[in-house]
Structure 1
Amino acid sequence: MATQHTYRVIVRGKWDGLTAPARERLLAEVADHGLSQMRFTPEGSLAYDAALHSFSYRCVIVSDAADGEELAAALAEEQAEHALRAAGLGYRELRSTATDMDTMKINRKSR
């Protein structure tokens, strides 16, 4: 069995072709998707502001360590695309960054 690693992935993108009802819905829910609501979760967390220019989607991906951050980023982009399409929201220019939490070095302050 391959070793599994946990990746935190941020997918960033821009809104595109939002319909009037979609814009109204996003603006009505903007308080629930601000900076204070950003979380890394397996199901994903969408964050944006009232300008409705860009967004970020944060998620946790668990995959084989041998596949690396590139696959984790691709899986996260697929997850974000699926969530946005399911919500009827248009997007473009997705790009992502992944961090392998199992290899991340933590610098502890010495006393």
Structure 2
Amino acid sequence: MSERTFRVMIRGAFDGLNEAQRAELLAEAAQHDVLFASFTREGHLTYDLTARADFTFRFLESGEAEQDIVPATARAEAAAMTWLEERGYGYKNLRSQAEDMSMAALSKRQKRARTTT
């Protein structure tokens, strides 16, 4: 069996941040800019508190079968909640979206590249 790669996005909103927490997040905002968003094993957080309280974690997970996407999503959710809770950041409206990259549709350019190699 081959290993499958899953991309998991956990979205939510910061909730009830105090001034110190807000200042801390704003000070680190450049590291969490959506322009640098990537899917990583440890999870990558993006947000823009100047625009809204929403955030997104992007995780790269793996499994051996299609049904492994469910526990992979649960691991990503748990990691995101742990990160937030360890820092005392309140959150709400968590929702998850996962994609099995082996089942993702190829773009025209990717299809052309596959047929020419």
**What band does the TM-score fall into relative to the shorter chain?**
0.7 to 0.9
Structure 2: 5+ residue stretches without partners: none
C-alpha contact 1:17 1:90 (8 A) present in aligned 2: yes
CA contact (8 A) 1:15 1:52 kept: no
The residue correspondences of 1:50-65 to structure 2 (distance < 5 A) are: 50-65=50-65
CA deviation vs aligned residue, 1:45-94 (integer Å, no higher than 9, x gap) = 11000234110000111134243433322221111101111222111110
Root-mean-square deviation (Å): 2.0
Q: Is the 8 A contact 2:9 2:98 kept in 1?
A: yes
In the alignment, what sits opposite 2:78? 78
* Map of 1:42 onto structure 2: 41
Report the Cα offset of residue 31 of structure 1.
1.6
The answer (yes or no) to whether the contact 1:8–1:60 under 8 Å persists in 2 is: yes
User: What code does the residue aligned with 1:102 have?
Assistant: S
User: Percent of aligned positions with the same letter in both sequences?
Assistant: 37
- Residue in 2 that maps onto 1:19: 18
Q: Unaligned 5+ residue runs, structure 1?
A: none
Residue type at the aligned position of 1:6: T
User: 1 or 2, which has the higher helix percentage?
Assistant: 2
Alpha-carbon distance in 2 for matches of 1:32, 1:90: 20
TM-score, normalising length from structure 1? Answer: 0.85
Letter in 1 for 2:98: A
Aligned residue-pair number: 110
Which stretch shows the higher mean deviation, 68-77 or 26-35? 68-77
